[in-house]
Amino acid sequence: MHKKPDHVIEIFLQPGDFYFGDKDTRIRTVLGSCVSIIAWHPQKLIGGMCHYMLPTRGQKRHGELDGKYADEAMELFMRELHANRTKPSEYQVKLFGAGNMFPQAGHADCSRCTPEIAYSKPEGACPKVHCRNRQVAYHLVQKHGFTIHAEHLGGQGHRQLLFDVWSGYAWMKHVPAGSVIPIVEAGQR
């Protein structure tokens, strides 16, 4: 187990954010139908996380890359890999998110949302955003030569995610849709 550094930079990713850091970094986020891709280099102890909202912007990009789109978030990863003189095959990748946030509205997962479909159709074959987000994650990781080491995609509800770059460990808490989380008011125990 890797020792926690004395000085840790804590980064919280909002939807559309991307961050790449070194061994003094911890990255957190909360996911619903969005997806986070984590890439970690076990020898250099560098890595990053994105929090994308949609597979693609669907039109020609003008200006800066925007991490809210999966394809552009992957371009941000590739820029960091190039800057650090590393290759995708050297990284361990973990995928999280793509939760169905509205199952009661009839937005169930469908049988068309498989990695095999995603590999052949980068835009996704499903009209549901959580399914398309999951499909495009598989597609982009394979297209760029990464290897998936862990994943927790799909299902219902949201996830809280934490990634320690110094160790490569990622912790995730999954809260199913419709779960009741007790709230204690001030003065109550």
Quick: pLDDT tens for 130-141.
Answer: 888 998 999 999
Contacts 24+ apart (CB under 8 A), 167-174: 167/1, 167/2, 168/40, 168/42, 168/45, 168/47, 168/92, 170/38, 170/94, 170/96, 172/96
Q: Give the pLDDT of residue 2.
A: 61
Choose between 33 and 36: higher pLDDT. 36
Task: Give the model's confidence band at 82: pLDDT under 50 very low, under 70 low, under 90 confident, else very high.
Answer: very high
- For residues 27 and 21, the answer to whether their CB atoms sit within 8 Å is yes
The whole-angstrom separation of Cα 13 and Cα 102 is 23
Q: Give the pLDDT of residue 93.
A: 98
